[in-house]
Amino acid sequence: MPLALEQFGHDPWWIILIKTVAIFVILVLLTLFNIWWERRVVARMQHRIGPNVHGPFGLLQSLADGVKLALKEDIIPKAADKVVFLLAPVLATVPAFVTFAVIPFGPEVSWFGHTTPLQLTDMPVAVLFVMAIASIGIYGIVLGGWSSGSTYALLGGLRSSAQMISYEVAMGLALVAVFLYAGSLSTSEIVAAQDDLWYGLILLPSFVIYVISMIGETNRAPFDLPEAEGELVGGFHTEYSSLKFALFFLAEYINMATVSALATTLFLGGWHAPFWIDHLYGGFNEGYWPLLWFFGKVLGFIFFFIWLRGTLPRLRYDQFMALGWKWLIPISLGWIIAVATIRAVSLHGSIDRQYLMAGIGVALVLLIALSFWPSKDGGDEEVEAPTAGTGGFPTPPMPAGGAVRGAAQPLTFETSGSTVSAGSED
């Protein structure tokens, strides 16, 4: 049976405590597994072995790394703001755990004689709650970069705030179409509304925009500009070590699981059985079977994260910002108008829906064609760089005598009675 908001808030305190501890343990174990999985998958892509020593198949490698980080020397830079420097990793990690409070893992089950949903809680604005709490985690990254007293860390923190502003707008707009179709912002009710057809299929543009935005929100490759080891040494966490660095590491992987779980909930039917195999056996959507479907979909998204990291190079920062502001946001706005129009027609039936869909398809094709149409000023033609002294780019003054420092000069040496130049024809 689909869950309703009235079914929440009636659990005894010990069931709430069990659920809270279970979510914490699941996220920590999922982080350890994801670190190992990422190393194994990337190693397979690069024809390497990967971790295979600690434990069976190297499964305890992540645990060994955690112990190593805990035993490292804890350093606080002299120029750092100590209070903010210590608070920033906690501020980044705690919201990552809190966001899972409204994620539905499954239907109602029986625990020790009490019927309870496999979800900690729900609220009428649960999706907005997830986005609001996830935004707080960005403050941990920004304050960590600012409080370090390092230029590289500060630049990484500023990049992270710019990414959050840019891509969270596109992410929020991508979710508006889901709210229009589901008629609710409650996560359990959105899952119940996808019993027959997933929104990832009927709202494919929203799904694609959300997937791109969630990669930018989690600072993962190819959108890992706040870290950017080739440019900023290590980015916002350059000056961090030991457990404080481990908390940033933990927050990144939990945020991967959070956006993957939210994508599963909003676009892939949540805990419902995939490929509608529940029509073959209705028990696939009952009891604890939905846990298998839910975590299978989440791990599929995490594999997508790993696949991108192992294949795509990092974007240039201006390209990254242009993708968010010039493409994702305008496309999201146009798609929202189209979805709102289709919903209004579906509910009131004033226009034939087939003609409406055809008209919207033609409009989208024309819009995409116009975006790639060459400009009149010959924008596709190769433009020669301006030469020095013609009002073009500023050039540094030439050294004394007009010779360029470091340029090759003819080699001369003296012999008995004559001077020979190595660059002469003689």
The tens-digit pLDDT sequence of the chain (426 residues) is: 556 677 787 888 999 999 999 999 999 999 999 999 999 999 999 999 999 998 898 999 999 998 998 888 888 888 889 999 999 999 999 999 999 999 999 988 888 888 898 999 999 999 999 999 988 888 888 999 999 988 889 888 888 888 888 888 999 999 999 999 898 999 999 999 998 889 998 899 999 999 999 998 888 888 888 887 778 878 888 899 889 999 988 998 999 999 999 999 999 999 999 887 877 777 888 889 999 999 999 999 999 999 999 898 888 888 888 998 888 999 999 889 888 888 877 776 666 656 666 666 677 667 666 666 665 554 444 545 555 555 555 666 666 654 444 445 555 545 555 555 444 444
Place of tokens 């059985």: 273
Place of tokens 């190593």: 68
Phi and psi at 116, nearest 5°, equal -145, 145
Residue 340 lies in a domain: no
Place of tokens 């501890």: 21
Residue 300 lies in a domain: yes
Residue 160, pLDDT score: 86
Residue 42 lies in a domain: yes
Domain total of the chain: 1
Place of tokens 């900690």: 120
What is the Cα–Cα distance from 42 to 34, expressed in whole angstroms? 12
What's the angle, vertex CA 412, arms to CA 408 and CA 418, rounded to 5?
Answer: 160
Residue 199 lies in a domain: yes
Residue 394, pLDDT score: 60
Residue 363 lies in a domain: no
- Residue 88 CB partners (closer than 8 Å, separation 6+): 140, 141, 143, 144, 147
Residue 7, pLDDT score: 74
Residue 426, pLDDT score: 45
Structure tokens at 76: 């606080």
Residue 300, pLDDT score: 95
Residue 218 lies in a domain: yes
Residue 420 lies in a domain: no
Helix (H) or strand (E) holding 415: strand 412-415
Residue 342 lies in a domain: no
Range of the domain at 94: 7-315
What is the Cα–Cα distance from 80 to 310, expressed in whole angstroms? 34
Residue 39, pLDDT score: 93
Place of tokens 């995939």: 274
